[in-house]
Amino acid sequence: MPSIASRRTTFKALHEKGRAFLMPNPFDIGTARILDGLRFDALATSSAGYAWTRGVQDAEGLITRDDALSHAAEIISATSLPVNGDLENGFGDSPDDVAETVKGAIDVGLAGCSIEDYTTDPQFPYYSLDLAVERIKAAVDAKNRLAPDFVLTARSEGPAQSQHELDETIKRLNAFVEAGADCVYAPQLKEKDQIATVLASVNAPLNVLAGRKNFHMTRKELGDLGVSRVSIGAGLARIAFGSFIAAAEDMKDGGSFGCFDRATGMADFESFMQARP
């Protein structure tokens, strides 16, 4: 099993312009083992995917820092790949809160993590730019002190559909890069021209979220644009939970069991699971 330090080094090296390496998001130990067995370049936790396994909604403050880091540690133990942590807003508003979260992420063995500018407060959903930058600076200071090759990703969560919104996203991403972020991410970017504009305007590796409806760009197309990293977010979890609901509804409403004709054979996934010693 590679050391935590070597996983950090490997993960940082993956962030080359145009590589568009694929980083899918497991939501428990079993799905981590499957993705490890399929030999992706890296994995990442999903705040939503994990929240749903706990029976709570995402981004509502119902998952604590300790919960998220404990979950990350489980994923790390189940794979030999570098793991990035979806650590929401850093589990607190203050720069000190964010620094404490980054310290915890490094302690449990994550190779990197993302920090959002989303507050979880529906009345004031985004931190002011000044505070958002101070939070990223605190994260950068913490990781530079403890593990300089830890990849700190700064996320701008706001909409980016209008030109004004896209300009604001670019302004924030550039401010985060100036603050020392290693990678940037704006989940609302999904159109080719938007992505190209951000790549031309922001001098940092860019993560693009591909695990969504009606996203039809290929990994090659993203790489040709200059995208460094492609994540799936809660996409795999949504497929898994959606299939579960559809099968349960078939049984309840139709009284038939044909839904299990669609089920994967146990041998198809048990080969990825740990066997008895």
Q: Please say whether the beta carbons of 226 and 18 come within 8 A.
A: yes
> With bands split at pLDDT 50, 70 and 90, how would you rate the model's confidence at 59?
confident
Residue 188 phi/psi, 5-degree rounding, is -80, -10
Please give the mean pLDDT across all residues of the chain: 96
Write down the pLDDT at residue 128. 98
How much of the chain, in percent, has pLDDT values that exceed 90? 90
Three-class secondary structure of residue 115 per DSSP: strand
Which residue, among 152, 105, 187, 143, has the nearest Cα to 11 in the 3D structure? 152
Residue with tokens 């720069």: 95
pLDDT band at 60 (very low <50, low <70, confident <90, very high): confident
pLDDT of residue 277: 62
Q: CB-side exposure of 270: number of CA atoms within 13 Å?
A: 5
* Residue 251, amino acid: M
pLDDT at 276: 63
pLDDT at 182 over 80: yes
Residues 120-159: tens digit of each pLDDT:
999 999 999 999 999 999 999 999 999 999 999 999 999 9
Three-point CA angle 230, 231, 237, nearest 5°: 150
Residue with tokens 């312009």: 17
Q: Strand pairing partners for 155?
A: 116, 185
Q: Where are the domains of the chain?
A: 4-234
Residue 264 confidence (pLDDT): 86
Phi, psi of 23 (to 5 degrees): -125, 85
Compute the half-sphere exposure of residue 177: CA atoms within 13 Å on the CB side of its CA. Answer: 17
At 230 the pLDDT is: 98
May I ask the CATH class of domain 4-234?
Answer: alpha beta
CA–CA separation, 76 vs 43, rounded Å? 9
Q: Provide the b/e sequence for 132-148 (b: ≥16 CB within 10 Å).
A: bbbbbbbbbbbbeeebe
Question: pTM surpassing 0.85?
Answer: yes
